[in-house]
Chains A and B, each alone.
Chain A
């Protein structure tokens, strides 16, 4: 009986062995397939096709804000059978904004999101695009007098007011007259600069503070960083008579790159506490600096909101032939006091998406 049992057992075992072999083989084929598919991503991404092709024309390549705007725009566009190309972003060669605009027009895209630099050339290009039947939405700064279909951005007057408020807060903790420097780059049109400056001055009326405007020429790469560093290392106001050449007490930066440059320069040259920075944008780096009170406050623009609003405006125009002239985007001031709260808010928003 034992013998019989063992024979059945053996036959069963051999069948089992064959089955196990087959299972191992099939399993390894699957594992191999997965490994190969994971490793083999050539042309894997992007075989989704869309009806509409939008172009985003914005200058600074590595700017965190614009990157976020682009991603948000793309995400929004995807739900509407469209994609957004950041023109020139995939090219290694740096082209001026106008050339990028020309490229977008030549590429005969279905819509353009542009942050105009305020030049007349740009105004002409916007006109040319509209003549070619391409709707144009200006983002963050407007092109006055162009026939653009809409504008998405913050209210420059509000921005001036907000910065004024923060300058007052900064002044209240120090004695004596202060000196603030307002750093503009040429990604903001002159018109916008004027509005912001006027609003800031209006807000600071009666305060013992002088406000200087410094325009940083972005046409040369890395010039912003050099200019800001120079400003930071200049001798403090007590040592020299010439007020124009002294280091400022407050630095107001109007884009994220300038904010980070200023912050780094202040840290590197041990000027933390001496020079207060009012920043712009809410990248993790900037928020951390706010937490450490190196940056006193930052004004955050909801980049997601900007991106989505642009695409919405373009789609609205394509579908109904008209769209809002101005789509405002709210501004938030983030200080060391409310940075945690702000972070939670952003996290909740991302989760909600």
Chain B
């Protein structure tokens, strides 16, 4: 069993081609071996029989030669003819040569023993024949007659022996014919059995082997399909053979493994990236917060108000009423700005802030801006995000009324319509082109210079956004102008039903 398992181990790791070739070569070799063996054994049988036949033929020739010797001796003794003597010598020569091939040793094989006897008797016979011929030449009548008789007796024995040997060999021949038939029968059975075994065995092995090849392939195909559908969570295919199927399964397993690895890596990287982005955002916001805190800390509003109030009192004590009013307005403006940034406030408060601002600006620009207001409806109930109107007015002054040679005028109107309240700030400044209006509405920064400093026009954009977020509608802001030199009017449209309105 250990041999089998070690064989199994070696066999399993062979390539498919070698495996198949090995298995079929083994059976083919078996069949081939059997065939060769059959041929050899048939040849052996046939050659043995040939030998027997050949020996029969040679025995017949031996008998013919013996007859020739006897005949020629008789002819010579009878007639003393020279030709008979020549013939006698020739036939004697031929016969002596032939008996040389016969067995001369004692053995337990009766046929070979017969050969030995034939050989020995023949030698004696030839001796006697030669003596008889010599005696005839020497005209010793008595001698050659008796020797001829003796030789003839031996001739008789020889004839019998040769015949018997021939018969015995024919008998063996007949037996060998039977044997040949029997062995052919065996051979038929034998080769049929081997063929049957080879065919059955081959089929069996083929079935087994093909199933070991195809089953893992089928499984592999199924797994590949699963992977194709995006499911990487599959079992590794277990193929213990080291052949092509094994290699394929191994490669497939490795592929799945590395695919899995890549997917995990990508997931990790994505997570990392989003975390980084988040922290960056957080950092930015905290930076801004800190900037704000920094700025707020720089302007300590209470200090500013108190200082300004102290200035106002000082002006009052010195009897400078205008200065006192200016400083008071300045203090109110800052207080409101600080208090209402990021808070809500009522429309009335907003309007009063605008007025405070305009008072300050008029002090700066020597009261050249005229302010007109026309309010209808209750402005107390309307709630706005804090510090909305003042930037619009600031914009009108710094963009619309800047460098205007004629009388500068700002008009603030509010009126209620069916569903909405419209607050409009109109100036009689240089007006705007449609392109400029569109640019402001989409929030593109318009580069202008303010007080000799570059100023980014983000004020309006901020106002618009805050209004949109606050009321939850897009249509909250309008800019109208009849072209350059005709002034601009900016309107805030507040839906009446807004929850913020009390």
Chain A residues within 8 Å of B, Cβ to Cβ: 3-4, 7-8, 10-22, 24-25, 28-29, 31-33, 35-36, 39-43, 45-53, 74, 78, 82-83, 85, 90-93, 99, 102-103, 106-110
Contact = CB atoms under 8 A, between A and B. Distances in A.
B198 A21 contact: yes
Interface string B264-297: 0000000000000000000000000000000000
Contacts of B212: 7, 10-11
A8 B183 contact: no
Given A7-B212, A7-B241, A46-B107, A18 B41 contact: no
Contacts of A7: 212, 215-216, 239-241
Interface string B1-33: 000110110011000000000010011001001
Contact of B201 (A21, A36, A82, A92): A21
Contact of B238 (A4, A14, A42, A102): A4
What interface size band does chain B fall in?
Answer: 35 or more
Nearest to A104: B117
**Candidate in A8, A41, A49, A106 with the most chain B CB atoms within 10 angstroms:** A106
Given A18-B201, A28-B190, A109-B120, 20 more contacts: A11-B208, A12-B4, A14-B209, A15-B7, A18-B23, A21-B27, A21-B198, A32-B41, A36-B186, A40-B183, A43-B111, A43-B172, A46-B109, A78-B108, A90-B164, A99-B157, A103-B121, A103-B157, A106-B125, A106-B157
B190 A32 contact: yes
Please report whether the interface of chain A is mostly helix, strand, loop or mixed according to DSSP. helix
Interface stretch (B94-102, B174-182, B356-364, B454-462): B174-182
B172 to A, nearest CB: 6
Contacts, number: 176
Interface in B104-132: 105-114, 116-117, 120-121, 123-125
Interface string B250-273: 000000000000000000000000
A186 to B, nearest CB: 22
A12 B172 CA distance: 51
Interface of B: 4-5, 7-8, 11-12, 23, 26-27, 30, 33-34, 37, 41, 45, 48-49, 52, 105-114, 116-117, 120-121, 123-125, 153-154, 157, 160-161, 164, 167-168, 172, 175-176, 179, 182-183, 186-187, 190, 193-194, 197-198, 201, 204-205, 208-209, 211-212, 215-216, 238-241
A44 to B, nearest CB: 9
B30 A22 contact: yes
B106 A46 contact: no
Contacts of B8: 8, 11-12, 15
Contacts of B49: 42
Contacts of B120: 106-109
Contacts of A109: 120
A51 to B, nearest CB: 7
Contacts of A20: 201
A22 to B, nearest CB: 6
Contacts of B114: 90
Contacts of A4: 238, 240
Contacts of B187: 32
Contact of A42 (B108, B176, B204): B176
B4 A15 contact: yes
B16 to A, nearest CB: 12
Contacts of B157: 99, 102-103, 106
Contacts of A106: 120-121, 124-125, 154, 157
Nearest to B183: A36
- Max chain B Cβ within 10 angstroms of own Cβ: one of A12, A24, A39, A99: A39
B101 to A, nearest CB: 16
A10 B106 contact: no
Contacts of B239: 7
B359 to A, nearest CB: 94
Contact of B107 (A33, A36, A48): A48
A281 B227 CA distance: 102
7 contacts: A24-B197, A25-B33, A28-B34, A32-B41, A36-B41, A50-B105, A107-B121
